[in-house]
Amino acid sequence: MPGGPAAGAAAAGAGTGSRPPGVASPGGGGRRFSVTRSGVPPRRPAGPLRAVLFDLDGVLADTFDVWCAVLDRCRRRRGLPPLGPDRVREVWGQGLRADCETLFPGESPARLAREYEEAFVEEAGRVRPVPGAEAALLACRKAGRVTGVVTNSPAGMAEAVLRELRFRPMVDVLATGDEVLRGKPDPALLFVAVARAGVNPGEAALVGDTPLDIAAARAAGVLAVGYRVPGDITVDELARLPDRLGLPR
């Protein structure tokens, strides 16, 4: 499923300035470790909002059909039965390591990541934009905010989705699951993204559609915007995001 650290995939984006704890150097070099903080209450921005970060799967991109096909393909190779849509929804967003434990027992994260990426690129034509996603990205950029994507998926898969949807030119920074030891809900990916955006955590918001996104944002000190899930701010339609964030039109 979307996410998790994946060895061997190329890191995306270029780092700027010093890196906070838990952040690997661009390109995947150096030591990688996690930073975890729990029990952080809802919050408001500590300063002017300068960056708007988005989860990818389920927020900007409807990749559900793609993931159903990818998971079934990987399971067929191992003689395992298909999961079916209901089971896929149950494990949605849980991350690569959890997939190895629950869907592919005994498999290594590195090998599974390579299979995911290979299958995902071939199935990328099934990807569809979430309604309002393009307008939300454009509105954030028009308002002078840095835009970013923060996803547990490896870089190759994230880039394939953004290219398929023609969103890549609208995204200033990209932080992917192969750059940290642990993906969301660990906040390390958020630290990667805000460093690349050149902002402090209190000047950024993350728009996510799962409790994992909300937990990661709060642990990082980033405003948690829930897309159809509870957050510090909640939106049911991406078209309403600029107004909910108080962005100038």
Q: Which residue, among 224, 49, 218, has the nearest Cα to 139 in the 3D structure?
A: 49
Q: Which residue, among 202, 124, 203, 212, has the nearest Cα to 168 in the 3D structure?
A: 124
CA-derived radius of gyration, the chain: 17
Options 55, 99, 172, 178, the catalytic residue: 55
Residue 67 region by backbone torsions, left for phi larger than 0, else alpha for psi between -120 and 50, else beta? alpha
Euclidean distance between the first and the last CA atom of the chain, given in angstroms as a whole number: 36
The position carrying tokens 């750059």 is 179
Beta bridge partners of 52: 147, 205
Our answer to whether residue 57 is catalytic in this structure is yes
Options 57, 209, 213, 232, the catalytic residue: 57
Alpha-carbon span 57 to 61, nearest angstrom: 5
Query: Per 3-state DSSP, what percentage of the chain is helix, strand, and coil (rounded to 5)?
Result: 40, 15, 45
Cis peptide before 2 (omega within 30 of 0): no
Alpha-carbon span 29 to 78, nearest angstrom: 32
Catalytic residues, by residue number, are: 55, 57
